[in-house]
Amino acid sequence: MTAAKLALSPTSLAPAWRDELPQDDFERQLFRKASDLEKQGVPQGEVQDCFDKERAARRRRDTIVEEKQCPRPIPPPPGTVRINRRDRKCLVDEYKKLLNVCDGDSHHIVPDMVYRLGARPKGAGMSSTADRIPNAPTLNEGMAICLRKAQHGSGLDGIHADLRKSLNDLGADYTPSGTAPLGEIISAAKLSIRNIEDFSERCKDLAK
């Protein structure tokens, strides 16, 4: 079977917008639209039907495609930015605002544990000032930066492993043990970001 027939085969494991490469601006837009609809939960059969109709209309040089045939992808909320690995933006903002726009993880520049007096809050507690040091931001308000998952984790390349060691060493020098002046903690947090490999100098400066 030829490659062209395989691409159109009903037994293909993935739809065209995942497996094929778009050939021009029209197809790039169409592939992106199909991918967005799929991510938003539109049944794959409906997405495929819309995809096929728009491709067929293009082949017939029919520039009028009835909009009502295909649901439009919901645009991102105002003030947010979509990013992908090929076009990674350097984003710094409140933790909550980055949760839905990072293609990796939203990382608190100053660890949230520095500001809280108990366990990490969940749900509504993430926007509460209860059990936190005076004038501290809530967990959701804390300034954050987008990191890849490998950069963010506790593995060899993760910022958490580096930062945990730095803060433990810092806390051992003060009484009570495990505490330290906020200025020194912030300096340690900035240094941990400075040590991230494969991270642009512009992002490091923006985080600082």
- Residue 79 belongs to some domain of the structure: no
Mean pLDDT of 54-69: 61
Mean pLDDT of 183-206: 89
Mark whether 120 and 176 lie in a shared domain. yes
Mark whether 65 and 103 lie in a shared domain. no
- When comparing pLDDT for 139 and 26, which is higher? 139
Domain count within the chain: 2
In the chain, what's the furthest Cα-to-Cα distance?
77
Q: What pLDDT digit, counting tens, does each position of 101-125 carry?
A: 888 888 999 999 899 998 999 999 9
Checking if the pLDDT of 5 tops 50, the result is no
Mark whether 185 and 99 lie in a shared domain. yes
CA 177 – CA 80 distance, rounded (Å): 41
Checking if the pLDDT of 67 tops 70, the result is no
Confidence of residue 6 (pLDDT cuts 50, 70, 90): very low
Of all helices (H) and strands (E), which one includes residue 165?
A: helix 159-171
Mark whether 65 and 128 lie in a shared domain. no
**Cβ atoms of residues 138 and 92 within 8 Å:** no
Q: What is the predicted pLDDT for the residue at 70? A: 61
- When comparing pLDDT for 48 and 70, which is higher? 48
Range of the domain at 162: 92-207
- Residue 81 belongs to some domain of the structure: no
Q: What is the predicted pLDDT for the residue at 18? A: 74
Mark whether 99 and 197 lie in a shared domain. yes
Q: What is the predicted pLDDT for the residue at 36? A: 84
